[in-house]
Amino acid sequence: MSSHNGPEQAGHGLIGGRYRLGERLGRGGTGIVRRATDELLGRPVAVKTLALDDGADPAGALREARVVARIRHPHVIVVHDVVEHDGRPALVMELVEGGSLADRLATGRVLSPRETARLGLDLLDALGAAHALDVLHRDVKPANVLLEKGSGRAVLTDFGIASLPGATTLSGTGVFVGTPEYTAPERMRGDDAGPASDLWSLGALLCAAATGTSPFRRDSLGAVLHAVVYDEIRPSEVMGPLVPVVRGLLERDPDRRLGAAGARRMLADCLAAAQEADGPEADTPSIAASRAEDARPVPDAHPEPTPRQPTPPEAHDPGGARERGAAGAGRRGGLALPLVAAAVAACVAAVTVAVLLAGDRRTTDTGAPTAPGSSSTGPAAAPGPVPAGYTAVSDERGFTLAVPAGARRSTDGDRVFYTTGDGAVWVGIRIRAIPPGGAIGAMRYADESGPGTNRGYRDATVEEIRHKGLPAARWEFTWDGFTAAEGPRHTVDLCWEQAGTLYDVWASAPVDRADEARGYFDTALGSFRTSGRTSGG
């Protein structure tokens, strides 16, 4: 949906036997959005009708409705109904009272780094929910992000050109699909595109949110396309701690681009650092528009580690995607505008050009960044009796515990992993400040985010418990795993509050080794000590 642009009056007819149309709220690429009243239920709604003069495909509206109906997420627009209007389908959606991010930026009100980080986390969750269902949005931009008045909730809308992975950048009639200054370079080249393309768009959106404009804004469409594919990308220093995550998301090679899990951790760290630095009295007019929003737990919605494991060859280049992309460069149809045709032709040449960002960030196959200084070494032994088959270790992060004999240590940001020799089972440890909402709040938020962060998330349970007399929460779930070859995994996680610190220990294994992982988990918890004291204080 486009921006809420004022009270231009439209027809006030009744459609679908119950929805009375009101003022026009905006116009997107596939239709016009109006305020309406559901006279049956007595509630306000938004109705998106296809513009009669833009050649919109009625089948596209139905497809959009079906796509959005599959994605149930608080940061994704809700479609209530589909009715007929002027012989075409009309979408009845939730009404988000408040303008779009584009509206806000148009008034010169950019977001602070703190607000931008929070917005990025919300949109990552929304995209994660879509990507888990193999849906690509393909038009992530400020005009398609609504900011709810009062609550500050960010809502991703306008799935009118959403598609399954592998869809072309051009429509069947040769018209460019998307918004060039927010479109990933691989889509400009006509290559196959996946979830990483939406993440590029998110990176450009975060730049716009914090600075007021996309980093690829130029005077002509041809110049925009050239900037996306060729020009050096220099995120503004005004973005402060957000610069590294934006650099990672705007990596031109999709195989090296920062993944969703890595971006989420970096944005959560930015938000936590900003909250600590600013303090509760330093809030600017926020997306949240209230301090209550700041009470939301900083998510750790994807506790799975990204240890360095041997990667199946097909994971590096699924089905020869690079070769298909290069060969497919000559199969694109003509564009509607000669200027676009010339610009895209120039972009095709870029398939042979490797443009690298400053601040190189390599990622694992799960999309999470490998933290600078990550280690993968044998654990240092610590004295003390341990069960047979285990080794007691004294970790440099300030804790001791018993891990499987032969386990190797690795780190990913503030998380530490001890992985069995075959790389299949691991124990993870994370130590951080207690987030708002405490242990149970963190676990409940992680569970809510689970479907968007763990493919095939299912059989989840979250319960509030006591661990050695301390407030704690336990979370278990099954998911589809990192690769089809590896198969489903099961994770068990327990975090507890102690002396102002949240301690989190979990174990993960293929489902057929879940009992083995539970044994490692129980032993790790029972043997965990910090600062010379028991975990129970």
SS (H, E, C) 354-375: CCCCCCCCCECCCCCECCCCCC
Report whether 301 contacts 264 (CB < 8 A).
yes
The distance from CA 505 to its chain's CA centroid, rounded to whole angstroms, is 24
Q: Return the CATH number of the domain spanning residue range 101-301+325-352.
A: 1.10.510.10
Most confident of 83-87, 343-347, 386-390: 386-390
Which residue ranges does the chain devote to CATH 1.10.510.10?
101-301+325-352
- Strands (E) across 368-414 are located at 376-377, 390-395, 399-404, 408-412
Q: Which of 526, 456, 463 is nearest to 489 (CA)?
A: 456
Tell me if the pTM is above 0.85. no
Q: Is 470 helix (H, G, I), strand (E, B) or coil?
A: strand
Q: Is 503 helix (H, G, I), strand (E, B) or coil?
A: strand
pLDDT in tens, 19-38: 999 988 877 656 788 899 99
Which of 3.40.1000.10, 3.30.930.10, 3.40.50.620, 3.50.50.60 is the CATH number of 376-534? 3.40.1000.10
The distance from CA 518 to its chain's CA centroid, rounded to whole angstroms, is 29
* DSSP labels, 145-180: EEE-TTT--EEE---TT-B-TT--SB-TTS-B-S-G
Which of 3.10.129.10, 3.40.50.2300, 3.30.200.20, 1.10.10.410 is the CATH number of 14-94? 3.30.200.20
Tokens of 511: 């489902």
The distance from CA 382 to its chain's CA centroid, rounded to whole angstroms, is 39
CA distance 10 to 15: 13
Q: What is the pLDDT of residue 9?
A: 39
Alpha helices in 362-490 (DSSP H): 438-453
Which residue ranges does the chain devote to CATH 3.30.200.20?
14-94
Judge whether residue 333 has pLDDT over 70. no
Catalytic residues: 139
Report whether 288 contacts 449 (CB < 8 A).
no
Task: Kindly state the DSSP code that residue 381 receives in the 8-state scheme.
Answer: B
Lowest-confidence pick of 152-166, 194-208, 351-365, 471-485: 351-365
**Predicted confidence band of residue 87 (pLDDT cuts 50, 70, 90):** confident
pLDDT in tens, 379-417: 544 445 788 999 999 998 899 999 999 998 887 667 888
